[in-house]
Amino acid sequence: MATNRFLSYLESRKNLTGSACGVAGLALTFTGLAGAYWPAVVAGLYGAGALIAPPERPAAPHFPDPAEQLGVLREDFGTLQAYLDSLELPPAAAGKLTELRQLYAALLDPGWVTDALAGEPEAVHALSRAIRQDVPECVDTYVRTRWWTRLGPGTEPPERHLERQLAVLFNEADALTAGLREAEARRQRTHTHYLEERERS
Q: Kindly report, residue by residue over 152-187, the tens digit of the pLDDT.
A: 666 678 889 999 999 999 999 999 999 888 888 888
**At 147, is the pLDDT very low, low, confident or very high (cuts 50, 70, 90)?**
confident
CA distance 166 to 136: 11
CA distance 139 to 86: 11
Please answer whether residues 124 and 117 qualify as being in contact, where contact means their C-beta atoms are separated by less than 8 angstroms.
yes
Nearest to 104 by CA among 94, 113, 95, 112: 113
34-64 burial code (b ≥16 CB/10 A, e <16):
beeebeebbeebbeebbeebeeeeeeeeeee
Residue 55 has a pLDDT of: 67
Report H helices in the chain: 2-10, 13-30, 38-52, 66-85, 91-108, 112-118, 121-129, 135-151, 158-200
Residue 41 has a pLDDT of: 66
39-44, long-range: CB < 8 A, 24+ apart = none
Q: Is pTM beyond 0.85 here?
A: no
CA distance 117 to 176: 9
